[in-house]
Amino acid sequence: MSDRNVVTWTSLMSGYINIGQPKSTLQLFQQMPRNYIFPNPFTFATAINACSYLSDVETGRRTHSLIVISGFHSNLVVCTSLINMYGKSNYVDESRRVFDSMENKNVVSWTSMVSVYTQNALGEDALSLFREFINSRSYEPNQFLLSSVINACASLAKLVTGKVTHCCVIRHGYDTNEVVGSSLIDMYTKCGLFDYSDKIFKRIRNPGLIPYTSMIVGAAKYGLGRFSLHLFEEMLKKGIIPNGVTFLGVLHACSHSGLVDTGLEYLNSMHEKHRIYPDSKHYICAVDMLGRTGRLDEACQLAKFVPPDAEDIEILWGSLLSSSRTYGRLDIATEAGERLIEINQRLATAYVTMSNTSASVGDWENAYRLRSEMNKSGINKEPGRSWVELRDKVYVFYAGNVKSCARGDEVVSLLKELEVRIKERGYVRGRKGLVFVDVEDEVEEMIVGLHSEKLALGFGLISIPKGATIRVIKNLRMCLDCHEFFKVVSEIVERDFIVRDVNRFHHFRDGSCTCNDFW
């Protein structure tokens, strides 16, 4: 091509991004000055998009300097690209500085900034900025802005705000939109309203991969494993091609429903039938699936198959360690714990679980040794915390901390009363996996009785109107004792409780849980 200009250079740069070769885009960009071709705003935006694709913030910063020198620092397209680039590299403050410097903003730039907050787990900031957008009354929200806001509500489990945003979705005619619908499915699932998710899914005309995947993952986390697999098979019959995330949902469904052989068949089918190579996350699910059903030798062999530098390798060995503790396999627990400590010497979970495993088989000497090593190294376990939303305000509760507990005295009084009532029904606190090492009964009663989810439940019972479902979010796995406590109390007070822990949902009703005591 003899007559090359900035448009042809920019088009070629953009083409390289479209075929997944952002490095070639930047190489072309660097060659332009030597060919006396000077970038325009679209050229700069394309180069910044390449940096974003590569998470190359240093090259992005240098390009940003050239943008300022060239006088394009207020250009709408360029600034929006900069917001996205800094956000994807976790430089949120830089994104906000670019956003605030813009003289003119459109709905795309507002959407980019809200998305940056959401993607970086700053949900409150995302919602605050959206309120600012609404109050400005400058533009109508588009599907991508609404989707980002709903995702922020999902990450915070803010059901009230999520419902208000859903009203906004309906008002602007996006209630059957696939992008928005998928976000709504995820939001209602994470807030413990899977029935709502199902209704939204059914309203989407010809749902594609993303809505199906959202439903498959949501059903799996809610303990509806067979329904999740039904959706997957339905999707295949419609000719929709699954991706790696879809298979994660399928494997998760099998893991939490005890469908081990079925799960292994799906794992093998990924490459054989669908040409998708399983990654470390899929093998983590498979190890977890085998471990939950006591097939620990198979789980251990599969874990060793995963490269030691694989992503999320800590989660893999942590899952195996937890399963080994459940089934009293000290040999595998020791190996898994040692692998975890090799990866991260300050990982409290490894020490705690190894100690509990030793204690469960009567090896108190080793349990105390591990506890001593933890104390000497100054390693502390992440404190358990739970939270409840009431009238769009979030109340947080910490394990063993009554002083910071809202209506603390009333909560403790109610919990004591409930303890008496459930003991009258023959309930006795379980011993397995509740405390770090052996302690006196009175001390154990105190430790388990003040777990954060119990404090949250007590607050919910005295603060949330009768008949309304109490929803609790927890940062750790729900312990066996609290699980039994919630089951019995749900029958006594005739109320539904939904607990979202780090692994899944538990819906308690009439003395039972949707997980069927398998989690």
- pLDDT tier at 272, thresholds 50, 70, 90: very high
Q: What is the model's pLDDT at position 438?
A: 39
Burial class for 405, CB neighbours closer than 10 Å (0-12, 13-18, 19+) = buried
Burial (Cβ within 10 Å: 0-12, 13-18, ≥19) of residue 510 = exposed
Of 289-303, 378-392, 425-439, the one with minimum mean pLDDT is: 425-439
Q: Is the pLDDT of residue 355 over 70?
A: no
Does position 365 have pLDDT exceeding 80, yes or no? Answer: no
Encoded amino acid at 216, one letter: I
pLDDT in tens, 442-484: 333 444 458 899 999 999 999 999 989 999 999 888 888 899 9
Give how many domains the chain has, as a whole number.
1
Q: Is residue 493 part of a domain?
A: yes
Residue-level pLDDT at 444: 39
pLDDT computed for residue 388 by the predictor: 92
| Residue 400 resides in a domain | yes
CA-closest candidate to residue 411, choices 453, 456, 469, 351: 456
Closest to 457 (Cα-Cα) out of 467, 446, 472: 472
Residue-level pLDDT at 362:
64
> What's residue 460's pLDDT?
96
In a domain, 159, yes or no: no
Query: 126-155: per-residue pLDDT in tens?
Result: 999 999 999 988 889 999 999 999 999 999
Gap between the Cα atoms of 428 and 279, Å rounded: 43
Q: Mean of the pLDDT values across residues 476-498?
A: 91
- The Cα–Cα gap between 7 and 18 comes to 16
The reply to whether 155 falls in a domain is: no
The pLDDT-based confidence of 361 (bands split at 50, 70, 90) is: low
* Residue 178 predicted with pLDDT over 90: yes
User: Across residues 260-288, what is the average pLDDT?
Assistant: 94
Q: Residue 362 falls within a domain, yes or no?
A: no
pLDDT greater at residue 192 or residue 216:
216
Mean pLDDT of 311-323: 85
* Residue 389 · residue 468 · CB < 8 Å: no
Q: Which two tokens stand for residue 204?
A: 């989407």
Which region holds residue 510: left if phi is over 0, alpha if psi is between -120 and 50, else beta? left
Flag whether 432 is in a domain. yes
pLDDT tens string 59-106: 999 999 999 999 999 899 999 999 999 999 999 999 999 999 998 899
Q: Using 50, 70 and 90 to split pLDDT, how confident is the model at 347?
A: low
Mean of pLDDT values over 205-214:
94
* Residue pLDDT, tens place only, 376-424: 666 666 678 999 988 878 899 998 888 888 888 999 999 999 988 988 8
Show the domain range for 467: 385-513
Per-residue pLDDT at 446: 42
Name the band, by pLDDT with cuts 50, 70 and 90, for residue 330.
confident
Q: pLDDT > 90: what percent of the chain?
A: 62
Q: Output the CA torsion 225→226→228→233 (10° steps).
A: 150
Q: What is the 3-state secondary structure (H, E, C) of 410-423?
A: HHHHHHHHHHHHHH
Helices 194-203 and 209-221 pack at an angle, to 10 degrees, of 160
Q: Of the candidates 136, 165, 139, 142, which has an alpha carbon nearest to the alpha carbon of residue 152?
A: 165
Q: Which H or E element spans position 201?
A: helix 194-203
* Structural domain contains residue 497: yes
Residue 389 lies in a domain: yes
- Across the chain, mean pLDDT equals 87
In this prediction, what percent of the chain has a pLDDT beyond 70?
87
Residue 487 tokens, joined:
């089951």
Q: State the pLDDT at residue 504.
A: 82
